[in-house]
Amino acid sequence: MPTTYAQPRYAFHAPPHPGGTERARVVVVGGGLVGLTAALDLARRGVACIVLDEDDTVSIGSRAICFAKRTLEIFARLGLGERFLAKGVTWNTGRVFFRDREAYSFNLLPEQGHEFPAFVNLQQYYAEEWLVEACLATGLVDLRWKSRVKAVENRQDGAHLSVTTPAGDYSLHASWLLACDGARSFLRESLGLPFTGQVFRDRFLIADVVMQAEAASPWPTERRFWFDPPFHPGRSVLLHKQPDDVWRIDFQLGWDADPEAEKDPARVRARVAAMLGEHVAFELEWVSVYTFRCRRMKRFRHGRTFFLGDAAHQVSPFGARGGNGGVQDADNLCWKLAAVLDGTAPEALLDSYDAERVPAADENILNSSRSTDFITPKNDAARAWRDAVLELAEDWPMARPFVNSGRLSRPSVLRGSPLNGPDEAPGAAPPGTPAPDAPLLRGGTAEWLLRHIGATGGFTLLAREVVPVAMSGITTLLLADTPRPGALHDHAGLAAARYGLAPGECALLRPDQHVAARFTTSAPEPILAARQKALGL
């Protein structure tokens, strides 16, 4: 059915030692969105890895589509930001309808002065294709297609994998293993690690349709969500625009729907036609039916094996917290693993992956569960409350904050992290906050702050109107109120405002673009101590 995208097929290469045993420092299992992001992040930090994937292509069909601002910033750090902006569909506005009326709309990024928008919509396969290209270009990622893990053993010095390929089987000993093998993770199940949570009794139909520009003209580039619309009574519908004139529509079907019957193209066409109008021309690009759960592993680190993305935690699709959460896992883990491997940090630093990403997963699960409860009320009382909210929302602002068609992905603030250092003058961006972006000038040329943070791998000290002494392991970024050679000119004052920096103050930023600590002076001792703390020393 897909006509807008030609699936790449990657060449399989016979393993170097068929029948034998190979050793590798880092192995990533699962060459999907999260596994490839992790491999590229490690490579950017100089760490080589092997990626095993049982298939020989990128993701098929309609899966992750909404890439959130923080995820785009991570991809920008990895060198792919401009590709997402160029190809993806940028949107900031969401509009909610109840029956035949608009209930209200909202802007997810009301503030100017950020390089990336609230969201870019893009088919997951494009993201994966670009990640594959970027991984190969580093020369540090050994991508092994058609390579399936059939057994795993977790040992003190790493994980022992049995890999099966078309050219025979072999053993692979990984000193460090990143399990990115999805919601039905073979590694998680083989190791007998529980994955618990809540099942939702509902089904959703995904219909991706191709509508040429003329037919699509009444549909602006925004997220639209309907509760109980006339064209799909009693249930909800979600519409997103993607590149290539593809529109993704999610129809709520209810638990009793027959998934096979619902996938019948004639039936899907009728649903789509009822929504778009009988006269509108469209082609079906993709159809699938899904159910979902919200669940997670108790811990994501198991010795030298780490679980990332859907393998570690699963959420409902409302809020775009699955793919985004997974990419943010990779962002969190990879600089730590690189620091341990090059001897900068002790192994204990890796425990902070659990300390930081388990609460983030809980935040994603909580938000997506609440959205699901609003969209699919569990009883008559819950439905009455929901409909009351929706009826009031059109006229009365008090009701609008209760409308929940998905609380869209925002990065977790790592408030309780053991890596957080002092906050000498509490205000904006406390330790644990993802580093805010800001527009700057360098030699009169427009620049973005985040482009300067973490790209080279180490810590960054953001110093406003002060020149700190050189400190080992820390790159200083001078922030000037007026144009000055060697400094970034904070011409709009947004960097100072977003980091809460008065002249003479500094903020220490981690390699994954998070605030580690904030200081009222540039005295080196507390800054160096905060770096040590953020490295688990």
Summarize as ranges the residues that interact with other proteins (CB under 8 A).
Answer: 94, 96, 104-108, 110, 118, 225, 367, 370-371, 373-374, 377-382, 385, 389, 391-392, 394-398, 400-408, 410
CA dihedral 448, 139, 337, 193 (to 10 degrees): 110
| In the complex, minimum distance from the CB of residue 15 to other proteins, in angstroms, rounded to a whole number | 48
Q: CA gyration radius for the chain? A: 24
**For other proteins, which is the closer residue by CB, 118 or 507?**
118
**For other proteins, which is the closer residue by CB, 324 or 404?**
404
The DSSP letter of residue 2 is -
| In the complex, minimum distance from the CB of residue 398 to other proteins, in angstroms, rounded to a whole number | 5
| In the complex, minimum distance from the CB of residue 99 to other proteins, in angstroms, rounded to a whole number | 14
How far is residue 241's CA from residue 93's CA, in Å, rounded to a whole number? 12
| In the complex, minimum distance from the CB of residue 420 to other proteins, in angstroms, rounded to a whole number | 23
**For other proteins, which is the closer residue by CB, 344 or 433?**
433
| In the complex, minimum distance from the CB of residue 347 to other proteins, in angstroms, rounded to a whole number | 38
**For other proteins, which is the closer residue by CB, 393 or 461?**
393
How far is residue 145's CA from residue 465's CA, in Å, rounded to a whole number? 51
- CB atoms < 10 A from the CB of 502, how many? 11
Using DSSP, state whether 207 is helix, strand or coil.
Answer: strand
Cα distance between the two ends of the chain: 54
| In the complex, minimum distance from the CB of residue 241 to other proteins, in angstroms, rounded to a whole number | 17
Q: What are phi and psi of 105, to 5 degrees?
A: -135, 165
**For other proteins, which is the closer residue by CB, 274 or 388?**
388
Q: How far is CA 473 from CA 74, 313, 476, 530, 534, in A?
A: 21, 34, 10, 12, 12
Q: 442, exposed or middle or buried, with CB in 10 Å at 0-12, 13-18, 19+?
A: middle
The DSSP letter of residue 445 is E
Residue that has been written with the tokens 């990657």 in this structure: 10
**For other proteins, which is the closer residue by CB, 269 or 370?**
370
Contact 28, 180 (CB under 8 A): yes
How far is residue 326's CA from residue 339's CA, in Å, rounded to a whole number? 21
**For other proteins, which is the closer residue by CB, 123 or 371?**
371
| In the complex, minimum distance from the CB of residue 225 to other proteins, in angstroms, rounded to a whole number | 7
**For other proteins, which is the closer residue by CB, 344 or 372?**
372
| In the complex, minimum distance from the CB of residue 412 to other proteins, in angstroms, rounded to a whole number | 14
Q: What are phi and psi of 74, to 5 degrees?
A: -65, -45
